[in-house]
Amino acid sequence: MLLDIYNYTLGELEKFLQEDNIENYRATQIYQALHKRIIFNFNDIKNIPESLRHYLSNKFKIPRLKLIDLQISRTTKTKKYLFELPDSDLPVETVFMQEKGRTTLCISVQSGCNLGCVFCSTGYFGFKKNLSVSEILLQIYEIIGLEKIYPTNIVYMGMGEPFLNYDNFLKSLKILCSGNGLNINSSKITVSTIGLKSKIKKFADDITSEENKDIKKVKLALSLHSTDNGIRDMLIPISKKNKLSEIYNELIYYYRKTGTKITYEYIFLKNINNKSDDVKRLIKLSKMVPSNVNIIRYHPTEQKNFLELCNNYSEDDINEFIEKLRKGKVVVNLRKSNGIDIKAACGQLAAENYNKIKNNNFYV
């Protein structure tokens, strides 16, 4: 069985090739061809001997994602890619966004998700599998090939919870930030989590270790959505086992360890999380460690639930809430929602076109 070469860091590839007496500089040439120049065929790596290209073809494979569907927003420079994973016949969605000189890719770490957050379509889609390192990276590489542009920013905010696929997610970070790869500045990468006990602390320790210095500036965003444990438990069922007091302690640890401020993601839900006590708790929370709060509009999904009742709010409602926070010295932003018309905005990824397209045998 051929090995997936995208799952190897440079050090791991060097070690593999050393067993067959192949010099380390050859590993660097191969790694740069795959991860920097985005070459999808060993025969196209022209700066290595033909014998080595033949060796690689007998040892490794270069998998590809199959493009199933592409939706383009009519209102923003946003595109949603629906891919099929190699060898597993499962879908994953990735979002491409361009604005203000930035090209951002919102990538997935799982096909589906099993956390069941009531505001998120991915949870209703259900969990299918954790993505391999290769499958995480390929979302980026395939889009580079299609769009002919390299991303300036990466957000791990697509399908799935990064900390539930921790090892593969962390390894993908190392490869993306490697000087022999895309060499993305880690400060341009944001990781979003709903908050899992021990994982935030572990992440802080891992990215500040000497061996991981290339990823030490990665930004952390907590899907907060309520400062009330009871309401948050209702919105994010797994938070029943991950209480806010415990998560806050880990965020303090993260900041002290990394020196990187925290971002709190907060979906505006009228009459649920915008009351006076919510404002007071957010003001107090913002003083705990340097942070900012991103207010996000609720994006309705195909799944009908009680949150539909919260969608009847005006711009005055959301602006009033933001103004109260700012008066309390909270650094707060109203996050722009890109791609709502193609269901590419926060909480809308569900690969809903996959089965329909597959059944009709129609691909992009």
| Active-site residue identified among 106, 120, 310, 346 | 346
Q: Which amino acid is at 248?
A: Y
Q: Exposed/middle/buried for 101, CB within 10 Å: 0-12, 13-18, 19+?
A: exposed
| 93 has catalytic annotation | yes
Determine contact, residues 214/176, Cβ cutoff 8 Å.
no
For the chain, give the longest Cα–Cα distance.
Answer: 70
Strand, coil or helix: what is 60?
strand
DSSP 8-state secondary structure symbol assigned to residue 168: H
Q: Locate 61 and state its tokens.
A: 């494979």
Rounded Cα–Cα distance for residues 223 and 202 (Å): 18
Q: Which amino acid is at 36?
A: K
| 346 has catalytic annotation | yes
252's CB contacts (< 8 A; 6+ apart) are 288, 289
Q: Locate 162 and state its tokens.
A: 């990064």
Look at residues 116, 131, 114, 217 and name the one whose alpha carbon lies nearest to residue 171: 131
| Active-site residue identified among 14, 84, 93, 161 | 93
Look at residues 172, 157, 145, 65 and name the one whose alpha carbon lies nearest to residue 106: 157
Rounded Cα–Cα distance for residues 195 and 191 (Å): 11
What are 308's strand-pairing partners?
Answer: none
202-206 long-range contacts, Cβ below 8 Å, gap at least 24? 202/166, 203/163, 203/170, 203/254, 204/250, 204/253, 204/254, 204/257, 204/258, 205/257, 206/170
43's CB contacts (< 8 A; 6+ apart) are 53, 57
Look at residues 54, 5, 47 and name the one whose alpha carbon lies nearest to residue 26: 47
Q: Which residues are designated catalytic?
A: 93, 346
